[in-house]
Amino acid sequence: MTKILSIQSSGRQDGSVTRKLSAAVLEQLGGDVSERDLTTSVPHVDGDWIAANFTPPNERTAQQSATLAYSDALVAEVKDADILVLGVPIYNFGVPAAFKAWFDMVARVGVTFKYTDTGPVGLLSGKRAVVVIASGGTPVGSDIDFATPWIKQALHFIGIDDVTVIAADALGRNAEAKLASAKNDILKLAA
């Protein structure tokens, strides 16, 4: 069975458009679903984390391994999934801080990407991502949407290039039509 990891970053549980549409995506795709809710705080990169990350695995102290344990768990669940379903509201023209913090924990040299003579190469190939994006006024794909291009670049960086964006954007203007269009796009997703 296809393994799907749902990663949600809306600060709200009730009334969240990204959570609701992500649930519709999960229903459409079917599969064995795991959930990661980023509203329970994701640690930020700090000095200890950086030092541990850049210490070769076989030279890490027990303390350094413990420092990386949460990041390791986040990476493991991404590695284990065939499809990522990402629920990402636009907050202040970008992704929610929790989502950025998640990616900072997942982008690991030698684990999810590597450096080569011709530049960095993502190591998580063969996966697909469906990104559900909602906004109040920022049109997805516009010059002031820094979320969508950043998400695509971040996923590309770790080797995920098969990315479908479901946009429920600029909901402040015509929510009903935008939601109907997003739901229609979801029904077109192949399992």
Binding site for ligand FMN (CB under 6 A): 10, 12, 16-19, 89-93, 134-138, 171
Q: Report how far residue 39's alpha carbon sits from residue 169's, in angstroms, rounded to the nearest whole number.
A: 21
Q: Cβ 129 to ligand FMN, closest distance in Å? A: 17
* Beta carbon nearer to ligand FMN, 10 or 148: 10
Q: Cβ 77 to ligand FMN, closest distance in Å? A: 21
Check if the beta carbon of residue 4 is closer than 8 Å to that of residue 82. Answer: yes
CB-closest chain residue to ligand FMN: 89
Q: Could you give the C-alpha distances from 91 to 73, 124, 187, in angstroms and in order? A: 26, 27, 26
Q: Cβ 149 to ligand FMN, closest distance in Å? A: 15
* Beta carbon nearer to ligand FMN, 2 or 92: 92
Q: Report how far residue 60's alpha carbon sits from residue 47's, in angstroms, rounded to the nearest whole number.
A: 15
Q: Cβ 179 to ligand FMN, closest distance in Å? A: 10
Pair type for strands 113-116 and 3-8: unpaired
Q: Report how far residue 6's alpha carbon sits from residue 33's, in angstroms, rounded to the nearest whole number.
A: 7
Rg of the chain taking only CA atoms, in angstroms: 17
* Beta carbon nearer to ligand FMN, 117 or 143: 143
* Beta carbon nearer to ligand FMN, 9 or 53: 9
Other residues' Cβ atoms within 10 Å of the Cβ of residue 170: 18
Who's near 166: CB < 8 A, 6+ residues apart? 21, 25, 130, 131, 132, 133, 182, 185, 186
Q: Cβ 180 to ligand FMN, closest distance in Å? A: 15
* Beta carbon nearer to ligand FMN, 123 or 179: 179
